[in-house]
Amino acid sequence: MGTLNPNFEGEAVIVTGATSGIGREIALRFGDAEAAVIVADIEKEPKDAAVPTHEVIVDEGGTAEFVQADVTDCSQLTELVNIARDYGGVDVMINNAGLFIGGSILELDPEEFDQIHAVNARGVYFGTQVAAIDMIDRGEPGVILNTASISSNNAQFDQVQYDSTKGAVRMITRGAALELAEEGIRVNAVAPGQIGTEFIDGWSEEAPEAAKNDDLIKPVPLGRAGTPEDVAGAYLFLASEEAGYVTGDLVSVDGGWQVF
């Protein structure tokens, strides 16, 4: 099989939730592809690695900066696009930060509901807004990518609050794509399946076994859990000119989880 060799030299990419997990790998891949990467996260120290994301990129000769930012705070999202102006302005905004809170709808605590929606849905909405306004102001249309989930399309037991945030991400993506198309801005989402990260405590160890049996409602057709490396390439494709006619879509990277 061939490989794509994306290059984003001269472009500025913001990745939220880029300290750990999927966001970290996305940031590293854009760093490899010569983008200037703004690594935005509420935490500086990775849960799953020794060296912070931006340091890996810089150590390998790339350009990256860590910015401590909470996506629930609109002024901090605006600050991210302001910082991107130091690198020519945001070309690719990746709203990836997310958290998981499980539990039955019969037990759901209103504060937890607000917390998970503030990060997973509101953070994506306003991350999209600030990036789009900045692109329009500069007259430089770019690309906005959101991290959705298999939960954007499918209910899972004891996940109604999480699933509802990811359903919102799907519709934020589609609505924004519709509205921003005339500005030349493309908006898409990536929907990862079961990816072994520290998103849920201990999940990186459990995910490979869970993928082979029906512990999680159904097994993964490709027979294994995914990795951040499996997912990151979709973001590079969607950000690239190769995807110039793709907007409003939700690209699943789930080992076939949704086929049955």
- Any contact of residue 146 with ligand NAI (CB under 6 A)? no
- Under rule CB under 6 A, residue 66 binds ligand NAI: no
Instruction: State the nearest-atom distance from the C-beta of 162 to ligand NAI, in Å.
Output: 7
Residues contacting 218, CB < 8 A, separation 6+: 257, 260
Buried b or exposed e, range 13-30, using 16+ CB within 10 angstroms: bbbbbbbbbbbbbbbbbb
Secondary structure E strands in 5-50:
12-16, 36-41
Over the window 103 to 132, marking each residue x when it contacts ligand NAI by CB under 6 A and - when it does not, the resulting string is: ----------------x-------------
The smaller minimum CB distance to ligand NAI, of residues 62 and 192, is found at 192
Residues of span 20-39 touching ligand NAI by CB under 6 A? 20-23
| Interface with ligand NAI (CB under 6 A), residue from 74, 99, 108, 246 | 99
Q: Is residue 41 close enough to count as binding ligand NAI by CB under 6 A?
A: yes
CB 156 → ligand NAI: shortest distance, Å? 11
The CB-of-201 to ligand NAI minimum distance in angstroms stands at 10
HSE-CB at 111 with a 13 A cutoff on CA atoms is 0
Interface size with ligand NAI, residues (CB under 6 A): 28
Classify 189 as helix, strand or coil.
strand
Reply yes or no on whether 87 is catalytic.
no
Secondary structure element (H or E) that encloses residue 161, with its range: helix 160-180
Say which of 125, 162, 235, 245 is annotated catalytic.
Answer: 162
Helix axes 123-138, 160-180, angle to 10 degrees: 20
Nearest to 33 by CA among 4, 59, 67: 4
192 binding ligand NAI? (CB under 6 A): yes
CA angle 214, 219, 222 (to 5 degrees): 160
**Does 97 contact ligand NAI by CB under 6 A?**
yes
Nearer Cβ to ligand NAI, position 72 or 247?
A: 72
Q: Both tokens of residue 256?
A: 């076939």
- For tokens 């809170």, the residue is 101
CB of 46 to ligand NAI, least distance (A): 7
CA distances from 99 to 57, 123, 259 (A): 25, 11, 25
Residues that bind ligand NAI (CB under 6 A): 16-17, 19-23, 41-43, 47, 69-72, 96-99, 119, 147, 149, 192, 194-195, 197-199
Q: Which positions are annotated as active-site residues?
A: 162
